[in-house]
Amino acid sequence: MGTYRCVDLYLVRHGITKANMEKRYVGQTDVPLAEESRSQLQQLEKALRSVSWNRVISSDLRRCMETLDLICPGTPYVMDAGLREMHFGLWEMKTYEELKHNRRYRKWIENPEAVFPEKGEKYQEFSERVEKWFHNFLRTSSGGNYLVVTHGGVIRHILMQIKAAASFWEAPAPHGKAVTVRLEYREECWSCTSLSVVPLPESQPTLNKRTQKHNG
């Protein structure tokens, strides 16, 4: 019999910020949560209240740490800059309307893997950073429950890595909710065996389950 491990990973996108509501590219700008996020996060706090955590990890940006303090008050956690959102450079805190006449921005919208924000992070740099964090997480995690509070881009990229989403924008990453994936390690390979959103949206009465492999 080979080694077997089972990890339940709760990926939480921080609560909404004023900049999110204004549809700005927040990236690594260190903004606080909006007051409106508190009621939203109460539902998540209730849903997670009975879970016992093996480890809790947060992006070191303020909106993630504030989210964690609201959903798991008093819980010790580790901060990790590897979980930061992509850096949008000179486009940070700007909206589509403010950027739509910028030629480079329009090329980036069409092909984000080939074009990168002015003085910002290349998609390859972002993906390598997230994948390095994720591979280290898998290497150092035993069985149990793990809570990670991070950003939409990070969650989407991780879900693509474990083949729980067909593309970046199809991956679920709602503000103030947990995307929960079960990862099983058998025969020297990690598999994602289930995916769900907590609390479950009213329009989604059943779990979305998959079985795909990710070489760890």
The domain that contains 68 carries what CATH number?
Answer: 3.40.50.1240
Is the dihedral angle over the CA atoms 123, 128, 129, 133 positive or is it negative? positive
Per the domain annotation, does 10 fall within a domain? yes
Reduced to 3 states (helix: H, G, I; strand: E, B; else coil), residue 3 is coil
| Residue 100 covered by a domain | no
- With tokens 């580790």, the residue in question is 78
Nearest alpha-carbon partner for 73 in 44, 96, 106: 44
pLDDT score for 53:
98
What pLDDT was estimated at residue 203?
46
Q: Packing angle between helix 62-71 and helix 37-48, nearest 10 degrees?
A: 50
Q: From 23, 169, 191, select the one nearest 96 (Cα to Cα).
A: 23
Which residue has 């009213």 as its token pair? 202
Instruction: Tell me the pLDDT of the chain (216 aa) as tens digits.
Output: 567 999 999 999 999 999 999 999 999 999 999 999 999 899 999 999 999 999 999 999 999 999 999 999 999 999 999 999 999 999 999 999 999 999 999 999 999 999 999 999 999 999 999 999 999 999 999 999 999 999 999 999 999 999 999 899 899 999 999 999 999 999 889 999 999 999 965 544 333 333 333 334
Q: Give the pLDDT score at 214.
A: 36
**Confidence (pTM):** 0.90
Adjacent-strand bridge partners of 2: none
| Count of domains observed in the chain | 1
| 131 located within any domain | yes
Residue 18 inside a domain? The answer is yes
pLDDT in the model for residue 207: 36
* 105 part of a folded domain: no
Does 179 reside within a domain?
yes
Predicted local confidence at residue 123, as pLDDT: 96
In a domain, 65, yes or no: yes
**Could you tell me the residue range of the domain that residue 30 belongs to?**
5-89+122-214
Residue 109 in any domain: the answer is no
| Identity of residue 73 | P
In this prediction, residue 93 carries a pLDDT of 98
Quick one: pLDDT at residue 200?
Answer: 65
